[in-house]
Every structure is written in C-alpha cells, then in structure tokens.
Amino acid sequence: MAERKVPELSLLDYLNGSEEQRKTFVDSLFIGLKEYGFIILTDHTVDQKKVDEAYELVHQFFHLPVVTKEKYGGVPGGQRGYTPFKKEHAKDSKHGDLKEFWHVGRELDEQSPYFDIYPKNLWPTEIENFKKAFLELYSSMDQTAVVLLEAIGEALNTPKDFFKDMIHDGNSILRTIHYPPTTGEDTNNSVRAGAHEDINLITMLVGATGSGLELLDRDGKWLPVKTLPGQIVVDTGDMMSRLTNDVLPSTTHRVVNPDDSGETRYSMPFFVHPHDNALISCLDSCIGEGRKYDDINSADFLIKRLEEIGLYS
C-alpha cells in the first residue's frame, strides 16, 4: 500500500491555467479535502515578503514582558489581541495548550452592519509597523480565501458567489501563535495544541516554523503534515462540515510536543469565517439520505465553540 501523504496542489493552475488544469485543480481539491481534510498549496497568491515581515514582528511581540503583552488581552472570546499561555484548551480537555497567541480581525468601515458588532482590533504600540504589516497580510490571505472557496463551491455545485457572499465582511481571524520551549512543563498531560477540529469554513496555515502538526487519518492513525517554506496548508472546519453534511469533514489535528524541549515554534493560521448573519445550513447538493445537522446562525455557532475551548464564558 502506498504511503499516505497530504495532496499538494498549485493554486496558480486554477487561476492562470487552462480549462483542463482548472478542472483538475477543483477535482483534486475536493478529493483531498474529502479524503484527508487537508491539502497543501505549493504555490498561491499570498506575498511571501508579507509573511516574512509578519513573522519578524511576531518574534518581537512575543518576546515582550508578559505584563506588557497582557495589556492587550481581555477581549471577550479572545477574538482580538493577546491570549495568554495555556488559556486555550482542546474541547473536552482540562489541560491548557502550551501556546500563546495574538488575533487580528477584519477592519470595517462604519457603513458595515457589523461595524459595532465585531470586536475592534488592538495594536501593540511597542512594535513599529505591526498594524500595517498585519492588515496587509490579512488582506492577502482574505483574497486568497475567496479564490479557494470559489473552487470548493464549483465542486459542490453552489451558485458562483455563494461563498464569496458568505464571507463578505466575514469575521475571519488571522492568528499568530508562539509555542515556547516545553522545558519544565507537564508534557505528559499538555501538548502544544490538543487534538481538535477548527470552528470555521476553512483554515489557511502559512509558513509554520518547526514540525509537530499531525492530522488524524481515516485509518485512525496520526499522519504528520510536512510542508516546505512558502507553502500553505488548508483544512476544513466544523462550519464547512455542517454545510456539506460531512461530505467535506472537519478533520481532527494536533501539534505534538517537540523531541527537543528547548525548541520554539511559530505558526500563522488564517481562520476563514462567514459574516455573523450567515446561516449554516446543509447544501442541496449534500443532503444525500438526509440532513445530519440543524440549521444554525454562524455567530451562535462560533460563541458555542469558543465556550467549549475555554475562550468565552
């Protein structure tokens, strides 16, 4: 039996290729997400210079004193700004993850119906250019998400702008994560990220440093997700799973502790969310033998899941 390996695809085949290349991409994307819940983009439209700059600024931020970082905490649900070490935990786990992170959300103008609903971004004044760099990276990731979801929509026979409309003014989050050395931590009970499924439609993980990401394969075994610099890992979340009646399932994944307890890891996932009034309802093309899930408003679903992972109370 051939070794199981997360499929690698070229997003530029979809954007710039022939009709045959576009169709092959759509089919391969669908099969990859259906069979693994994950795919890897070997090339894409996110500017690597923006990624590199963001990582450099993240290093600076996470090396600030804890008391300084905590000035930027306290947003309900941890939806913006800083979340301290071991605050978040996997659903049904009592042990906090060995990580700290920062959230950047969408900047809205006053005409948006969500201007006074979404939390406002926080910006560390101690780090020069932080706001500019992260808003530029957010925009680049957001535009790429529109393209990916359009391709997924083609495979699911949705109207052309179905996902584009759903994520317009969406509550998507760019998360920067710092996994410090695990020296002195209870590594028997706590890991860098406990086994979990993402909440959102899709997640795009760009430029993670260090190893440790694993997905739970269909045979019940953990499969390492290995990438090269400049690639993006894409996985489907619970909202996509509900929309597609588990045709595109939300795949359990984790970040295991390193063999070297002194190793530091950084990662930067972009969690693609609908706008708050979106209805998460089974697509007609996915009903099959019947709907598995009740319809739910995306904002209600988000809060429910944030409560389950210890970020909202």
Q: What is the rounded CA–CA span in Å between residue 165 and residue 58? A: 31
DSSP state of 179: E
pLDDT digits (tens, 9 = 90+) for 82-102: 999 999 998 888 899 999 999
Point out which residues pair with 255 in neighbouring strands.
193, 213
Among candidate residues 149, 154, 195, the one with its CA nearest the CA of residue 172 = 149
> Which residues are within 8 A (CB) of 251 and not within 5 positions of it... i.e. 6 or more apart?
36, 37, 38, 197, 215, 216, 235, 236
Q: Please state, rounded to an integer, the average pLDDT across all residues of the chain.
A: 94
Dist CA 248 CA 33 (whole Å): 6
How many other β-carbons are positioned within 10 Å of the β-carbon of residue 112?
15
What residues form DSSP beta bridges with 270? Answer: 174, 204
C-beta separation of 204 from 148 below 8 A:
yes
Buried b (16+ CB within 10 A) or exposed e, 135-159: bbbbebbbebbeebbbbbbbbbebe
pLDDT given for residue 313 in this prediction: 64
Residue 208 has pLDDT above 80, yes or no: no
Q: Which CATH architecture has domain 8-308?
A: Sandwich (2.60)
CB 261 within 8 A of CB 181: yes
Q: How confident is the model at residue 4 (pLDDT cuts 50, 70, 90)?
A: confident
pTM of the model: 0.96
Residue 11: φ, ψ to 5°? -65, -30
Neighbours of 174 (CB within 10 A): 23
Domain locations in the chain? 8-308
Stretch 106-133: mean pLDDT: 96
Euclidean distance between CA atoms 220 and 195, whole angstroms: 13
What token pair was written down for 246? 């588990």
Average pLDDT over residues 169-193: 94
Tens-digit pLDDT profile for residues 132-180: 999 999 999 999 999 999 999 999 999 989 999 999 999 999 999 999 9
CA dist list (Å): 275 to 115, 167, 250: 11, 6, 20
